[in-house]
Structure 1
Amino acid sequence: MPTSQLPRALFAMNPVHLPELFPPRLMRRLRSSADVDAALVVRDFGDPAIAGVLAEAELLLTGWGCPRIDAAVLRRAPRLRAVLHAGGSVRGWLDDAVWERGLAVSSAVQANALPVAEYALAAILFAGKDAFGLRERFRVEQVRPPAGALAGVGNLGRRVGIIGASRVGRRVLELLAPFEFEVALYDPYIDGATATALGAVPLPLDQLLATSDIVSLHAPDTPETHRMLDQRRLALMPDGAVFINTARGALVDPDALMTELISGRISAILDVTEPEPLPARSPLYDLPNVFLTPHLAGSLGNELERLGRAVVDEVERLAAGEPLLHAVHHAQLANSA
C-alpha cells in the first residue's frame, strides 16, 4: 500500500525504549502498515515542533515515559482514533477524555504478563526446594546439609496459594499445571467454577494464607487491594512459609512484612517493595531469608520486542478493519493493573 494511504502514526514514549520495542525487523513490518517516522519520538505534546504531525496523527504508539494524554492533547490531535500502548497498564496517563471521545485503546499487558509469570514459576519452584535458604547455609558451612535437614524440602504435593486471577495469575496457574502441586486461588471477582476450571481450589483469603506453603501475589494495585496483606493476615501464614511478590509493594503492609521477615518466621522472594527502591539501610538487603530483585520480573531486554510486536499486531488489525485483539475498556480499569 502506498505510504500516502497508510494511517499516520506517532511514537510517544521515552526514546531509549524504542530500539528494543521495535528492532529493525519489527520496524519494517510496522512501516508496511503505518506511516510513521522512526526518528521522531514525542516526549512533550505541547512542543510546537510536533504540532503539525500531532494534528495529522491517527494512531499514537505509546510506551513507558509517554506524557499524559488529556483533553488539551486531544484538541491538538483531531484525527486521532487509537492509542496503542507497548507496555502494561494505561492507568494514570490516559485522561477520561480519551474514553469520552471514543478512542480505541489497546495495551500489551498480556504480553508483559508472560515474563512476570515465568519469574513467579521459577520463584515457586526454588521456594519449594528451599533453594535460597540452603544456598545461604551452604555459603556458611560449605558442606551439603545432612539428610535430616532436608526432610521438609521438595515440591511434591506442596500447596501454592495464588492471590489474584489476573493475567499474570492465570498464566502462573497454567504454568503450574504440569507439576504436582496443590494449588489454591483467591480472587473476589471469580466464582468457584471458574477457579476450578483454572486448575485451583477456591479459598477465602484468610484460609489460603493459613494453609499455603507458598503464597504468590498477583492482584492489581487498586484502592481495594491497598495493604490487603496487613499484620493480621501475614501472621496467618504458617511458620516456614514463603511469600512471593511480583505485583506491587503497596498491596502489603511494609512494616508488618519487615517484622515477620526479621523474626525469621517466614521467607520472601520480592521483586517489588514499598517503597521502591528500598532505602540503603533497609534490612531486607541483608536478611538471609529474603531474596530481593530490582523489579525485573516484567519485560526487560529482548523481551521488550514482544510488547512492540503486540502493538504492530494491533496496527495491522486496524489497517485491515478488524477489531483490536487487546482492547482496553474504561470500565475495566477499576479492577485491573
Structure 2
Amino acid sequence: MSALPVVVAVVPEALYAEFFSPDDADRLEGVAGRLGGSFVRVDRLTDAPLDEVRVVITSWGIDPFDAAVLDRMPRLELVAHTGASIKAFATAELFDRGVVVTQAGAGMARSVAEVSLAFTLALLHRVPEMHNGLRGGGWDAGVPAQHEILDAPIAVIGASRTGRAYLELIRLLGARPLLVDPTLDRAAASALGAELVTLDDAMERARIVAVHAPTLPETHHLIGGRELALMPDGAGLVNTARSWLVDEEALVVEVRAGRLSAAIDVFDEEPLRAEHPLRTLTGALLTPHRAAGTTEGRLRQGRIVADELDRFASGRPLAHAVDRAHLASMA
C-alpha cells in the first residue's frame, strides 16, 4: 500500500509546470519522502486524502482555510503559497492552530520592477501617444515633449521589495530617484541611492511617479485628485502595485485632458470592462495585471517554495514566513 500524501500541491497542472522546474518538482517529492509520506498535486484540496497532510502548497483561487477544512487536516503544519498575498485564504483559525504560513512574493519583485521600468521609459518617450496615434491613422500630430531617463526626477512611492528593485534599475540608468516612505529616514534612503521627500514634494517634482506602496487603510487613494493636480504638465504615473493606491476616476480625468499620461497593470475592476474609459485614452498604456508573469519570475517563486519546504523538513527557520499581522498590508 502506498504512503499517504504528506505534501499536497493545490496548483493547476499548467501553472504547476510554470512554477516548478523538474529539479524543484523532484525536491518537493523528496521532502515528502523525508517527512514519511508521498507527494500529490491536485486541482482542489478535497481531491486528496488529508488525514496525514503536513504541508499544503497553494496558488491563486484556493478556498479559505476555515475550521471545517482544517478539521480534516489535523497534522497540518505549513502552508506555502506560490504567490505573494495570502489574504484570500489565510484565516484567523489557521494561525490559531499554529500553522506556519510562507509565501514567494520575493520572487515577483524583479519581474514587476522591470515592467515598471518599461512603463517608465514608455511614458518618458511618449510611446502610448505615438502608438495610439499611428493606429488611429495619424503620423506626428502634436506629440508632447519626449524625455530621457538620464537625470530625470523619478518618484518611487514605497520602498517595498518591488520598489527597491525598481529603484535600483532607474538609478543604474542615471535617474534622480525621489523616495516617499514614512518608515525610512534620510540615511536609509540615501543608502538606497534616493532622496527622501514628502509625497507632495515628490508629486510636484517628479517627471514619473511610480507606485510601490503597501495596501493599508491609510494608503487608500494615497494618490487622489489633489495629489495628481500637483504633478507638472506632461508627467506620468506608473502603477504596477495595487489600484487601491490611486483614485482611478481622478486619474482618468487627468489623462483624458491630456495633462498626464499613465501606464497601469492593476485596476479597480478586473477584468477591465470593455467600455472602461481607460481603454480609449491616447495617453494610457495598459496591461492585464500580468507584471509578475515572467517565465523566470514564476520559476523563482517555485524555487522559493521548494527552498522553504527543504528548510521545514530539516527543522531550520523559514526565510519567508508571514504572520497574521502581515494580512493588513496585503490586498
Amino acid at match of 1:72: A
Measure how far apart 1:276 and its partner are: 1.9
Measure how far apart 1:38 and its partner are: 5.8
Measure how far apart 1:336 and its partner are: 4.7
Contact 1:11-1:60 at 8 Å conserved across structures = yes
Q: Deviations over 1:9-62 (max 9, x none)?
A: 111244442222224332122212224766541524xx4x63xx3110111111
Amino acid at match of 2:223: L
Q: Deviations over 1:266-289 (max 9, x none)?
A: 000011122222221122112111
* Unpaired stretches in structure 1, ≥5 consecutive residues: none
Q: Deviations over 1:208-267 (max 9, x none)?
A: 111110001111222221122211111111110010110111222222111111101000
Looking at structure 1, the residues matched to 51 and 216 of structure 2 have their Cα atoms a distance apart, in angstroms, of 35
Matches within 5 A, 1:9-28: 9-28=7-26
Measure how far apart 1:300 and its partner are: 4.4
Cα distance change of structure 1 residues 103 and 38 upon mapping to structure 2, 3 Å threshold: closer
Does residue 155 in structure 1 map to residue 155 in structure 2?
A: no
Looking at structure 2, the residues matched to 280 and 152 of structure 1 have their Cα atoms a distance apart, in angstroms, of 30
Amino acid at match of 2:290: L
Equivalent in the alignment of 1:134: 130
Matches within 5 A, 1:39-54: 40-44=41-45, 47=46, 50=48, 53-54=49-50
Equivalent in the alignment of 1:63: 59
Cα distance change of structure 1 residues 92 and 315 upon mapping to structure 2, 3 Å threshold: same
TM-score, scaled to structure 2:
0.89
Equivalent in the alignment of 2:207: 213
Looking at structure 2, the residues matched to 273 and 26 of structure 1 have their Cα atoms a distance apart, in angstroms, of 33
Amino acid at match of 2:160: S
Looking at structure 2, the residues matched to 226 and 278 of structure 1 have their Cα atoms a distance apart, in angstroms, of 20
Looking at structure 2, the residues matched to 302 and 113 of structure 1 have their Cα atoms a distance apart, in angstroms, of 11
Amino acid at match of 2:105: V
Measure how far apart 1:304 and its partner are: 2.0
Cα distance change of structure 1 residues 156 and 303 upon mapping to structure 2, 3 Å threshold: closer
Q: 1:282 is matched with which residue: 276, 281, 284?
A: 276
Equivalent in the alignment of 1:294: 288
Equivalent in the alignment of 1:243: 237
Amino acid at match of 2:20: F
Looking at structure 1, the residues matched to 38 and 222 of structure 2 have their Cα atoms a distance apart, in angstroms, of 45
Looking at structure 1, the residues matched to 116 and 315 of structure 2 have their Cα atoms a distance apart, in angstroms, of 37
Equivalent in the alignment of 2:223: 229
Contact 1:7-1:319 at 8 Å conserved across structures = no
Compare 22-31 and 217-226 and name the one that shifted more.
22-31
Looking at structure 2, the residues matched to 16 and 152 of structure 1 have their Cα atoms a distance apart, in angstroms, of 42
Amino acid at match of 1:98: L
Amino acid at match of 2:116: A
3-state SS of paired residue (1:32): helix
Percent of pairs with identical residues: 39
Q: 1:313 is matched with which residue: 283, 290, 307?
A: 307
Compare 66-75 and 78-87 and name the one that shifted more.
66-75
The alignment yields a C-alpha RMSD, in angstroms, of 2.5
Equivalent in the alignment of 1:264: 258
3-state SS of paired residue (2:85): coil
Equivalent in the alignment of 1:114: 110
3-state SS of paired residue (1:11): strand
Equivalent in the alignment of 1:193: 187
Amino acid at match of 2:110: L
Compare 72-81 and 256-265 and name the one that shifted more.
72-81
Measure how far apart 1:191 and its partner are: 2.3
Looking at structure 1, the residues matched to 190 and 21 of structure 2 have their Cα atoms a distance apart, in angstroms, of 41
Amino acid at match of 2:65: I
3-state SS of paired residue (2:217): coil
Looking at structure 1, the residues matched to 322 and 208 of structure 2 have their Cα atoms a distance apart, in angstroms, of 32
Contact 2:9-2:40 at 8 Å conserved across structures = no
Aligned length: 326
Q: Deviations over 1:120-153 (max 9, x none)?
A: 112112222223333445554546x99xx78652
Measure how far apart 1:159 and its partner are: 0.6
Contact 1:12-1:41 at 8 Å conserved across structures = yes
Looking at structure 1, the residues matched to 91 and 42 of structure 2 have their Cα atoms a distance apart, in angstroms, of 20
Looking at structure 1, the residues matched to 234 and 199 of structure 2 have their Cα atoms a distance apart, in angstroms, of 19
Looking at structure 2, the residues matched to 24 and 127 of structure 1 have their Cα atoms a distance apart, in angstroms, of 39
3-state SS of paired residue (2:238): strand
Equivalent in the alignment of 2:28: 30
Q: 1:91 is matched with which residue: 75, 87, 94?
A: 87
